[in-house]
Structure 1
Amino acid sequence: MPTLPGISCTCTPVTRYACGHCYHDQCLDCGFCTIGGCVCHCEHGLGFHPSDNPAAGPTFWLGAHHPRWLATVGLPLMVSRRSLADRRSVPRAAEAWVLDSGGFTELSLNGRDQHEVAMRILKVTEEAGEVASAYIGMTGQNPRKGVTHTIEDVQGELCDVILTAAVALASLSDDPAGVFDAKIRKVTERAEATR
C-alpha cells in the first residue's frame, strides 16, 4: 500500500479521510483530521470549520448498527447509544460520527404497558390539582396563606395539564393528533348546533 508523503501509516484507503490522511490522526473530541492543513473541527465549537464551503450541502449520516464500522467505514456515521451501551470503549473512527440518543426506540419499546399508562393518566389529575392550588393562591382564598401565586403561575400550571394530557393521550393512541382533531371537530359542531 503506498503511503502519502511524510506519512508512514499503511492503513487501507477505506480507513482514511477524504483528505487522504489516516484515521489515527483524528481529534479524539470531534473525530476530524488534524494533520497538516486539515483543521480539527472541534476547536471552534461549531462542528464545522468557518471556512467550510456551505455550497457543499448537508452532511448525510449513515446509520451504523455495528460499532466496529466506526473504524472501518470511511463515511460519516450515526451510531446508536444502544449499540454502544455494553462496550468498554469505542473504536477510533475513520470518519466523523455522531451518537444517536435512541430516544425514539426507547419510547417505542417502553412506556405503553398498563402501569405506565395509568401513571400518566393519574399525573393529569395531579397537574389539575396544582392548577386549583395556584388559583386559590392567586385569589388569596386561604386566609392563613393569603396571596401566594400570580396569574402567570396559574397559566403555567394550565399548560402543564395540557402537556401531561397530551402525553397520556399519546400513550393510548397511535394517532393522538387525529384523535384530538376529531374531538375538536365534534365539540365545534356541538357548539355551532346550539347557537
Structure 2
Amino acid sequence: MKAYKGFHKDLSCLGYKFKENAWNKTDKANCGENGFHCAENPLDCLSYYRNWRNSVYYEVEAAGDLDEDEFDSKISCTEIYLLKRLTLEQLLFEALIYMVEHPERTWNGHVKKEYAEAHNGFAVVRGKNPNAHGQLGDILILLKEEDNCSAIEEVAFLKIDGKKCYPGICYTVKGIENHQEEICA
C-alpha cells in the first residue's frame, strides 16, 4: 500500500533507525501501540513531524500486517520500504493529489476553509472560492470545490517566488484576486 512517512533527519522515528533500499520489519502492528507508522494522507505527516526544516519525508510501501487508525489516516504496519525521499513541495503536491482523489474524506487540520495566510512555509485552502497569500518561498495550494458538492473542480499550486507570484498578494485558482495587489481576507 502506498503511504507517506516523516522522520527525524537521521531517518529515526521513536527510537528506531530506518534503512533505505531495504524492507524494515517488525513483529506487531497496532496503530495505538506499536508497528511502523505511516499515513495515507501526506498532510498527516506534517501533523507528526511539524518542523519540516528538521525532518525528512518519504513515500513508502506499507506491507505485512496493517492496522488503521480512526483518528486520521495513520496506518501501522509490520513491513515498510522507503521508496522516495520527498521535498516539502513534493509532499504538498502529493497531498493535493490525495485531496482531489478523495474529496469526501476528513480534512487534515492543515487544510483551511476558503481563506488562509501561509504559515510554516505553506497554506492549503479548500472551498467554493479558496484564496490565500504568503511570503517569499511559501507554497499555496488552492482547491476549488464544485458548487453543489465537495468534489474538486479546479486547483492551483503556487510558489511565492517574487517572479510569477508575489508576497502579500491574494491568489485564487485563477490567479490574483480581482487583479489587485492587496492582501485578501
With normalisation by structure 2, the TM-score equals 0.23
The structure whose residues are more often helix, as a share, is 1
Larger radius of gyration: 1
The structure whose residues are more often strand, as a share, is 2
